[in-house]
Amino acid sequence: MITSQTECDKVTRLPDHEPHSAFAPHDHRACEARVLDQARDRLAANGARLTPVRQRTLEILLESHRAMGAYEVLDRLAAEGFGRQPPVAYRALEFLVEHGLAHRLQRLNAFAACLHPGHDHAPAFLICRDCDMLAELPAAPVRDALTDLAAESGFQVERVTIEALGLCPACAGAARP
Amino acid sequence: MITSQTECDKVTRLPDHEPHSAFAPHDHRACEARVLDQARDRLAANGARLTPVRQRTLEILLESHRAMGAYEVLDRLAAEGFGRQPPVAYRALEFLVEHGLAHRLQRLNAFAACLHPGHDHAPAFLICRDCDMLAELPAAPVRDALTDLAAESGFQVERVTIEALGLCPACAGAARP
DNA sequence: CTTATTCATGTTACATGATAACAAGTCAAA
DNA sequence: TTTGACTTGTTATCATGTAACATGAATAAG
Ligand SMILES: [Zn+2]
Ligand SMILES: [Zn+2]
Ligand SMILES: [Zn+2]
Ligand SMILES: [Zn+2]
């Protein structure tokens, strides 16, 4: 494990790194390219290799702001000539998660590309129950509230999972016009 | 679905309902009996039936302050003469969750008895990575922090999962003497 | 350059988690 | 007492996740 739970969270104030929420309309090509670049930098810094399967896995995750199941990823990889057995996908996904390039969504048993891989972070997730879109949120305030509460009973928090299910702006608007 | 996300959270200030954290040493027999009683009351109020499988499932969950996998519960049920097929356990567990008598732990793919079933609530969970013990925490402050953050991007939060992994007081003490 | 070592990729086989669909039994209201 | 809702059980199948092992590629020593 290389990433740390300590989150930067300055990221939301740096337009270059986090220009908008995933929910806001945006140039997604640029979004993909930017993340891929940052990912490459980060791996180089860590001395880890972005091999073809790994890169392709990241690209597949990056195609949309949605979480994908491991088998969905595997089907894509297999169709492109990579191995067709589960460990192929799980290993690539695990690698990406370990290096902070993807997140695992516990509620969904699924994975999603990290949108600001330049920073170690443990974000909160907003998952739209209607369109499956996903956004990362700087979780520091939320996490701190939890860590404080836990400390009252002597519990030492190490890793936190914060996932919200609900309606994204678009779907909320469509439901109630 | 009968339970609501709206949490009472007054519960921690009512010694009768939440005398102590699950981590603190306590008379667990009394703990079990109290929860079982409250569960009965609640089901009666809802017009739902606590059938033998359901009661036994709840009792099994209540034996420890740990989360149990569905198949672990199933093995126990089967050994006591109930059905030995997965739906037997999943249905009982689903019933308990629907009526606010048990929680599902997303990180663990497991279930745990609710410790204060007298109130609708969506607590945060503290999970000890060493001894697997589990505690419920009133999550209102944490949840509110998240709901506010989400609102800034126009997202409407409906359900929230908050689970922390770390060390309980006992295990933290043992690790660093 | 060659060999040793590590890391990456692929496989098979299996373990664990979850649900669909159907049959039979139970219970209470009409 | 019959109806209809609910409960329990089954079989069968799907979904998710790993262990263990063999082969191949990249890197590091020698
Ligand atoms: Zn984008
Ligand atoms: Zn949506
Ligand atoms: Zn107890
Ligand atoms: Zn512990």
**B142 and A149: CB-CB below 8 Å?**
yes
- Once rounded to an integer, what is the mean pLDDT over residues A34-47? 93
- Once rounded to an integer, what is the mean pLDDT over residues A37-43? 94
Distance from CA of A69 to the nearest CA of B (A): 15
Asked whether the CA dihedral A26, A32, A33, A39 is positive or negative, the reply is positive
Could you give the percent of chain A with pLDDT greater than 70?
Answer: 86
Q: What are B39's two structure tokens?
A: 């569960």
pLDDT at B173: 85
pLDDT at B15: 40
Q: How far apart are CA A93 and CA A113, in angstroms?
A: 10
Confidence at B105, pLDDT banded by 50, 70, 90? very high
Say yes or no to pLDDT of A2 above 60.
no
The H or E element containing residue A95 is helix A86-98
**Global confidence as pTM:** 0.88
Q: A130-160: per-residue pLDDT in tens?
A: 999 999 999 999 999 999 999 999 999 999 9
| Ligand of minimum distance to the alpha carbon of A128 | 2
Q: Distance from residue A117 (CA) to nucleotide C8 (C1'), in Å?
A: 23
Provide the chain B residues 1-60 that lie in CB contact (below 8 A) with chain A. Answer: 21, 23-24
**B24 and A166: CB-CB below 8 Å?**
no
Contact B141, B74 (CB under 8 A): no
Q: How buried is B135 (Cβ within 10 angstroms: 0-12 exposed, 13-18 middle, 19+ buried)?
A: buried
Determine if residue A89 is left, alpha or beta; phi over 0 gives left, psi from -120 to 50 gives alpha, anything else beta: alpha
Residues paired with residue B134 on neighbouring β-strands, in sequence order = B127
Contact B146, A145 (CB under 8 A): no
- Once rounded to an integer, what is the mean pLDDT over residues A29-47? 93
Q: B15-39: per-residue pLDDT in tens?
A: 444 446 888 889 999 999 999 999 9
Residue labelled with tokens 């949120």 = A137
Closest CB to B23 among A23, A141, A154? A154
Could you give the percent of chain A with pLDDT greater than 90?
Answer: 77
Query: If DSSP codes are grouped into helix, strand and coil, which group holds residue B17?
Result: coil
Q: What are A137's two structure tokens?
A: 């949120």
Residue ranges of E strands in B23-169: 102-105, 110-113, 124-128, 134-137, 156-167
Q: How far apart are CA B85 and CA A165, in angstroms?
A: 31
The rounded Å distance from CA A145 to ligand 3 centre is: 25
> Does A132 contact B at CB distance below 8 Å?
no
Q: How far apart are CA A48 and CA A96, in angstroms?
A: 11
Residues paired with residue A126 on neighbouring β-strands, in sequence order = A135, A164
Q: What are A33's two structure tokens?
A: 């390219």
Contact B170, B131 (CB under 8 A): yes
Q: What is the largest CA-CA distance in chain A?
A: 53
Contact B2, B96 (CB under 8 A): no
Distance from CA of A10 to the nearest CA of B (A): 15
Confidence at A173, pLDDT banded by 50, 70, 90? confident
Query: If DSSP codes are grouped into helix, strand and coil, which group holds residue A166?
Result: strand
Contact A143, A31 (CB under 8 A): no
List domains and CATH numbers for chain B. Answer: 7-175 (1.10.10.10)
Query: If DSSP codes are grouped into helix, strand and coil, which group holds residue A154?
Result: coil
Residue labelled with tokens 């992994």 = B165
pLDDT at B117: 87
Q: What are A109's two structure tokens?
A: 């048993």
Confidence at B11, pLDDT banded by 50, 70, 90? very low
From the candidates A125, A153, A171, which should be mutated to test the interface with B, based on the most B CB atoms within 10 A? Answer: A153
Radius of gyration of the CA atoms of chain B, in A: 17
Contact B22, B115 (CB under 8 A): yes
